[in-house]
Structure 1
Amino acid sequence: MTSKILPGVLAMAAIVVASNILVQFLFGRWLTWGAFTYPLAFLVTDVMNRVYGRAAARRVVLAGFVVGLNCSFIGTQISGEFGPLVTVRIALGSAVAFLSAQLLDIAVFDRLRGGAWWRAPVVSSLIGGSVDTALFFTIAFSASLTFLEPGNDVSWAGEALPLLGMGPVVPLWVSLAVADWLVKLVLAILALVPFRIIVGSLSGRTT
């Protein structure tokens, strides 16, 4: 089993590392490039779940979690213009969001695996992605959780602005979260194509 899921482990590790790097680069006003790579983690998890089962998917997620912890630790040691690239709140939010969302994705996928082929990956990715976004941005930037890291000034994230520049006035971090969630929503649909192709290829090898 270990050798079979190795490609999944490597893919998950690559996505986590790439996302931790690309999150440092802005894409427009509300997103970073990492927002486009991170949702692929759900694709990897769902493929592993479909082909090898829930236990294998959990192993792949655990590997990604460990890689993510290492990336966060490295980020805390690198100083940028405004301090460490990764703060305690960002590291905590990233870890909690990743593990919670991925394990939820696995559970939902497993519950729906007997239905139409597309339903499990779409629903599990949407639910997992929504939880991921909510947990990460709340833990990392909400003013109500400043006690987690009193020395980290995230007041900039609380600036009151129209939602995505055109909606009701909300804290800036809410707009960032909504933009991130919308990307996850779109990619959950688009990922059905590679999901179908990869699952078909791997299933053929295991029969």
Structure 2
Amino acid sequence: MSDPGVHKVDAAALGQRPLRYFDFFMAAFVAILLLSNLIGAAKLATLGGFTFGAGILFFPLGYVIGDVLTEVYGYARARRCVWAGFAAMLFMALMAWVVVALPPADGWPDQRAYEAVFGSTWRIVFASLIAFWAGELANSFVLARMKLLTRGRHLWMRTIGSTVVGQGVDSLLFYPLAFAGDWTNGQVLTVMGTNWLLKVLWEAALTPVTYAVVGFLKRREGLDIYDEGTNFTPFRARL
């Protein structure tokens, strides 16, 4: 039975209605994205016999927030967040390059360490940008379309199903673009497959949290967005 305080709203009819929490979730989405690429994108770790990229510890949280944004606020606003994240990643990469390239002061001993941490190659930056953009938009598109097809039922099916597709697109693009030729083919395939599986399992494990957050936001915002008539093109940031 639906919550009497929550009203089904066509995305096109939302207009300029004030939204209490959208900005906070947008900020959290961008922050997690930047951290995942700054801290863990290029590090390989091994735990319990599994080899994986260290960014998996928190990068999937970005997909969880992306699911929440799409489910509660609709595809167009989720797409706007993806473009904001894309711009933030591009700016971070540019400023990292500038700061690393600045001549160090005489006697400053940490230039090589700084380069190792912040000096990602443009190949990795390019791979991160393309994989993030394509994966997140695929995730939001699948979730929004599944919501229409299921008439808003079975949230778990939508969040996990969209993650299977979105994380699949992300992994298929990022690891070959970033590391093919530097890692062995076996390493690329192993890390790509392991990360995809672990991210999907992460999403499934966080399903109760997703339900709680989605329910809270729908009640507080008093709306439930359905993307009927939405323009699903990825090449725009306007609502």
Distance (Å, rounded) in 2 between the aligned partners of 1:134 and 1:80: 31
Partner of 2:119: 85
Which residue is 2:174 aligned to?
Answer: 136
> In the alignment, what sits opposite 2:200?
185
**Matched residues in 2 for 1:202 and 1:181: separation?**
28
CA deviation map 1:62-107 (0-9, x unaligned): 1111122223224434375686631111111101100001111111
User: What's the offset of the Cα at 1:15?
Assistant: 0.4
Q: 1:117 Cα deviation (Å)? A: 1.7
TM-score normalized by the length of structure 2: 0.70
* Root-mean-square deviation (Å): 2.2
| Alignment correspondent of 2:62 | 41
Determine the structure 2 residue equivalent to 1:166: none
Residue 83 of structure 2 corresponds to which residue in structure 1? Answer: 62
The structure-2 alpha-carbon separation of the partners of 1:176 and 1:100, relative to structure 1 and needing over 3 Å to count, comes to: same
User: In the TM superposition, what whole-angstrom CA distance separates every residue of 1:41-72 from its partner, at most 9, and x where no partner exists?
Assistant: 11111101111111111111111111222232
Partners of 2:72 and 2:178 in 1: how far apart?
Answer: 34
Aligned-partner residue type, residue 194 of structure 1: V
**Aligned mates of 2:201, 2:112 — CA distance in 1:** 32
Structure 2: stretches of 5+ with no match in the other structure: 1-17, 101-110, 223-239
Unaligned runs of 5+ in 1: 144-153, 159-169
1:11 aligns to what?
28
1:174 is aligned to 189
Paired positions, count: 184
- 66-75 or 100-109, which deviates more: 66-75
Query: Which sits farther off after the overlay, 11-20 or 71-80?
Result: 71-80
Letter in 1 for 2:45: F
Give me the identity figure in percent: 26
- 2-side partners of 1:62 and 1:191: how far apart? 25
Q: Secondary structure at the match of 1:119?
A: helix
Letter in 2 for 1:124: S
TM-score by length of structure 1 reads 0.79
Are 1:89 and 1:139, in contact at CA under 8 Å, matched by a contact in 2?
Answer: yes
> How much has 1:191 moved relative to structure 2?
2.2
Structure 1 residue 22 corresponds to structure 2 residue 39: yes
In structure 2, how many angstroms separate the alpha carbons of the residues matched to 1:28 and 1:142? 20
Measure the CA separation in 2 of the matches of 1:54 and 1:119.
17
- If asked which structure has higher relative contact order (CA below 8 Å, sep 6+), I would say 2
